[in-house]
Amino acid sequence: MNLLVLLILVPVVALLLSVFITAEKVKNVILLGAVAELILCFELLREFMLERAAGNNAPYLFEIVYPWFKTWNINFHAGVDGISVSMLLLTSLVTVAAILVSWKVDEKPREFFMMLMLLTAGAIGFFISMDLIMAFFFLELAVVPKFLLIAHWGSGRKVYSATKLALMLMAGSSLILVGTLLLYVQSNGSFDITVLQSLHLDSETQRLIFPLMFLGFGVFTALFPFHTWVPDGHSSAPTAGSMFLAGISMKLGGYGCIRFAAILLPEGTQYYSSAIILLSTIAIVYGAFATLMQKDIKYINAYSSVSHCGFVLLGIGMLNQTALTGAVLQMISHGLMTALFFGAIGMIYSRAHTRDVRELGGLLKIMPFIGSIYIIVGLCSLGLPGLSGFVSEMTIFMGAWQVPGTFHKVATILACASIVVTAVYILQAVAKVMLGPVKNSHFLTLTDATWYERSASWLLMLAIIIMGILPMWLAQMISHETAPMAIKFLTLNS
């Protein structure tokens, strides 16, 4: 059976089973499903790399098409390339980690774990989609789980955050829908990206449709000024929710920007590239400075996500192979890193019951494992070589610097400079939370990580370290795909 179809079936089967078994057993089934999914993704990676090594250079592998609505030419068309495979790996890793971290959730556990699985199903389906309506279907699938996870299991201003998040993401989706319909008309009746890619739409049309698609997906990836759902949304969400939202949902936007906006509408992308670079640079710099002001460790990570996802969009805006590769690498690196960061924050919060840096302190002595994780992830965030953050950010900067022109150089310099600010807020957070005196004597009684928290942390930590030390296979897999994209952008003006 086609591996991609299996990837979709596993979450569906897990969900169906969850309806019928007892509430205490549900998390076991869901974990089993997530681990199965992870194994399948590794298998997919292995087979993909074998295919590529054997010389199969088709743009999409493991393609499968099932007609769905013949009248509208909507098909269940799935296929993967290097970028999709890496995103699928990311998704399955973060899912397993998120489920493990939430092992002790006891408020409506059945519904909680089912929501997580539904989110996974949506993300996986989205990454294998080659038909725009199929992609939209899976994108929308995640709306209800996101809303309920935050509104019910969250903390703080959960209803406000959940509503803001759901409405803004839905607004982005509606822009995507309109853009999709316009592309359908232009292609005389097709939603398939292979057909749409070979269309040569005139500049006027591309300049009209591109903003719709890009802004639509941009909302998901915290494009300034539509990033306002991120801080409240991520901070009010339960730990697994934040891990998923920041780790995967924001990447749906970046992936969509590349796959469904940039590739399909190259002239439009080029026309708006300056605007993209401007907005992403603002996001990077503003996000970094806003993080400096935060006192809640979750908000620190949330604003820092805005800043880091700005790098993704910057890479896309620069339109050359290195920068695009860097953008994808940043998606993966940031996904892993921020998931682990939220995981660590969740562990701290569930023990200390406060997220305020002014009340925390000296936790490294009390919880060495969690503390170490927190510090290492922080270092990854500021781009320490040896961890994944360095690989991706370095690639983006190199690619961005290659683009001639003052505007691009200035943007690159500003983005680089923001690393200094990142370093400040990370080290500040680490110092205040992990080092220094213990501010509350009650904290002395807190326990370190449990088995499930350790497993989740090790899983993500290993991924970050491997990506930091041995990124070659990954970078090669991705740049194989971004090379033709870059050529398309280069040959536009000829």
Partner 1 sequence: MNISDWLPLRFEIALAVFILLQLVIKIFDLIRNNEAWLRLNIAITFLIVLLGFTGADSGSLFGGMFFSSSFIIIEKTILAFATLLILMQSYNWLKQHPHTPEFFILLLTALLGMFLMLSANNILLFYLGLEMATIPVAALANFDLDKQRSSEAGMKMILSSAFSSGMLLFGISIFYGITGTLTIFVWQDLLRPGGLEVLALIFIMAGFGFKISLVPFHLWTADVYEGSPVSITAFLSVVSKGAVSFALARFLFSGVIMMQEVWIEILFLLSIVTMTVGNLFAIRQTNIKRFLAFSTVAQAGYILLGLAGDPVNAPTSVVYFILVYVFSNLAALGVVEAVSFATGKEDLDDYKGFYNSNKKLAIVLMLALFSLAGIPPTAGFFGKLFLFTSGIHSASLVWLLFASLNLVISLYYYMRLVRMMFSEKNEQPFAPIQSPVLSRIALIACSIGILFTGIFGGLYDFLHQLAK
Q: How far is the CB of 137 from partner 1 (least distance, A)?
A: 5
Tell me the C-alpha distance between 200 and 385, whole Å. Answer: 42
In the block, tokens 């789980």 appear at 145
Binding to partner 1 (CB under 8 A): which residues in 68-87? 68-72, 74
Rg (CA), the chain: 21
Report 127-166 residues binding partner 1 (CB under 8 A).
133, 137-138, 140-141, 143-144, 147-148, 151-152, 159, 162-163, 166
End-to-end Cα, the chain, rounded Å: 44
Minimum separation from the CB atom of position 232 to partner 1 (A): 16
CB of 34 to partner 1, least distance (A): 20
**Which one of 177-185, 373-381, 389-397, 415-423 is the stretch in contact with partner 1 (CB under 8 A)?**
177-185
Site for partner 1 in 259-288 (CB under 8 A): none
The minimum distance between CB 98 and partner 1, in angstroms, equals 21
Residue among 422, 398, 476, 469 at smallest CA distance from 306: 422
Task: Give the list of residues 6+ apart from residue 202 with CB closer than 8 angstroms, or none.
Answer: none
Structure tokens at 80: 């993967």
Helix (H) or strand (E) holding 82: helix 82-101
Q: Whats the size of the chain, residue-wise?
A: 494
Q: Does 181 engage in binding with partner 1 (CB under 8 A)?
A: yes
In this complex, which beta carbon is closest to partner 1, that of residue 151 or of residue 434?
A: 151
Task: Provide the minimum distance between the beta carbon of 185 and partner 1 in the complex, in angstroms, as a whole number.
Answer: 6
Which of 27-35, 182-190, 335-343, 445-453 is the region at the interface with partner 1 (rule: CB under 8 A)?
Answer: 182-190
Cβ closer to partner 1: 65 or 469?
65
Minimum distance of partner 1 from residue 463's CB (angstroms) = 30
- Closest distance of CB 208 from partner 1, Å: 8
Q: Is 23 in the site for partner 1 (CB under 8 A)?
A: no
Q: Is 121 helix (H, G, I), strand (E, B) or coil?
A: helix
Q: Cis ω on the peptide bond leading into residue 225 (within 30° of 0)?
A: yes
- Provide the minimum distance between the beta carbon of 255 and partner 1 in the complex, in angstroms, as a whole number: 18
Dig out the tokens for 336 from the structure.
């892993």
Cβ proximity to partner 1, 103 vs 184, nearer residue: 184
Rounded to whole angstroms, the Cα distance separating 114 from 236 reads 19
Kindly give the interhelix angle for 388-402 and 321-352, rounded to the nearest 10 degrees.
150
- Identity of the residue, 82 or 241, whose beta carbon is nearer to partner 1 in the bound complex: 241
In Å, what is the CA distance from 411 to each residue of 136, 147, 288, 422? 32, 35, 15, 17
Give the range of 175-183, 252-260, 299-307, 326-334 binding partner 1 by CB under 8 A.
175-183
Paired with 192 in beta bridges are 131
What's the rounded Cα separation, in Å, for the pair 489 and 206?
A: 14
* Residue (138 or 220) nearer to partner 1, CB: 138
The span of 39-47, 173-181, 224-232, 273-281 binding partner 1 (CB under 8 A) equals: 173-181
| Shortest Å distance, C-beta 104 to partner 1 | 20
Q: Which helix (H) or strand (E) holds 128?
A: helix 109-128
Give, in degrees to the nearest 5, the angle at Cα 276 between 485 and 278.
Answer: 140
Q: Does 49 bind partner 1 (CB under 8 A)?
A: no
Task: Scan residues 105-124 and list those touching partner 1 (CB under 8 A).
Answer: 111
Distance CA 6, CA 202 (A): 39
Instruction: For residues 217 and 252, give the distance between their C-alpha atoms in angstroms, rounded to a whole number.
Output: 8
178 binds partner 1 (CB under 8 A): yes
Confirm or reject binding of residue 167 to partner 1 (CB under 8 A).
yes
Q: Which is nearer to partner 1, 159 or 414 (CB)?
A: 159
Tell me which of 9, 39, 170, 420 binds partner 1, using CB under 8 A.
170
Phi-psi region of 246 (alpha: psi -120 to 50; beta: other; left: phi over 0): alpha
Closer Cβ to partner 1, 189 or 368, answer by number: 189
- In the list 48, 184, 303, 390, the residue contacting partner 1 (rule: CB under 8 A) is 184
CB of 75 to partner 1, least distance (A): 9
Alpha helix stretches (DSSP H) within 260-405: 266-292, 297-318, 321-352, 363-366, 368-381, 388-402
Place of tokens 């503003």: 286
> Which parts of this chain interact with partner 1 (CB under 8 A)?
67-72, 74, 111, 133, 137-138, 140-141, 143-144, 147-148, 151-152, 159, 162-163, 166-167, 170-171, 173-175, 177-178, 181-182, 184-185
